[in-house]
Amino acid sequence: MMKKRIPKVNTKYIKVKKSKIHNNGVFASKNIKKGTKIIEYVGEIVSKEEGDKRSEEQFKRSRKNKSEGSVYVYDLTKKYDLDGNFKWNPARLINHSCEPNAKYKQVGLKIFIIAIRSIKKGEEISYDYGYDLDDYKDHKCKCGKEKCIGYIIGKNYRKDFEKLRKKRKY
Ligand SMILES: C[S@@+](CC[C@H](N)C(=O)[O-])C[C@H]1O[C@@H](n2cnc3c(N)ncnc32)[C@H](O)[C@@H]1O
Ligand SMILES: [Zn+2]
């Protein structure tokens, strides 16, 4: 049987520990300058069909066990997804925040997490997951920031969300 190649990830900027946001989180192990490539989000590139199947299975697991995250699969292209749900991908443990200190950047078929401001040693690293409004009620946000909007919704969709909120009066 062929041995699977496990990518080597640079973990010099991070430390994994329990998070107040959700189960495990990723924290800065040293001061990080704005613009630093903190870590790569590695995983297995799979077809959209396989990615959808894995997403659905993971979502069901997360409903049964609250310590399980619900989403680890990224849309890479029209054809491919990136499933990062592997122990060897510590970046999978980075939580979402409505006021993040990092962002994700796709370069070709790779995803990197980049600091968008200077981050102090010990701070939890977070980025905007960028989710749209489909099924937003399934993804409550517990980032705890002053500007938290209560759900994991990407910055680009927040205006539409506010309109929806006013219309539905909640
Ligand atoms: C990529 S994982 C992040 C790591 C997760 N904390 C863990 O221990 O596996 C994504 C999942 O973590 C949870 N999560 C991430 N950010 C969150 C937030 N701001 N509020 C609530 N849950 C969050 C959700 O279940 C989400 O689907
Ligand atoms: Zn929030």
For tokens 């619900």, the residue is: 70
Bridge partners (DSSP) of residue 114 are 37, 103
CB 101 within 8 A of CB 125: yes
Closest ligand 1 atom to residue 148 Cα is 19
CA of 78 to the centre of ligand 1 (A): 25
> For residues 45 and 108, what is the distance between their CA atoms, to the nearest angstrom?
12
In this structure, what token pair is assigned to residue 156? 């680009």
- Which ligand places an atom closest to the C-alpha of 96? 1
Among the bound ligands, the one closest to the CA of 146: 2
In tens, the pLDDT along 122-135 reads 999 999 999 999 98
Ligand 1 contact via 156 beta carbon (within 6 Å): no
Query: What mean pLDDT is predicted for residues 90-116?
Result: 97
Query: What atom of ligand 1 comes closest to residue 126's alpha carbon?
Result: 16
- Check if 73 has its Cβ closer than 6 Å to any atom of ligand 1: no
Across 17-27, average pLDDT: 97
First-to-final CA distance of the chain: 56
Instruction: Indicate if the pLDDT at residue 2 is higher than 60.
Output: no
How distant, in Å, are the alpha carbons of 65, 74, 76, 148, 167 from that of 151? 19, 19, 23, 8, 17
32 CA distance to ligand 1 middle (Å)? 22
Rounded CA-CA distance 90/15 in Å is 9
Atom of ligand 1 nearest to the CA of 62: 25
Q: What's the whole-number mean pLDDT along residues 133-142?
A: 93
pLDDT tens per residue, range 35-87: 999 999 999 999 999 999 999 999 899 889 988 887 899 999 999 999 999 99
What's the pTM value of the predicted model, to 2 decimals? 0.92
pLDDT of residue 170: 60
Is the beta carbon of 72 within 6 A of some atom in ligand 1?
yes
What's residue 3's pLDDT? 60
pLDDT given at position 7 = 80
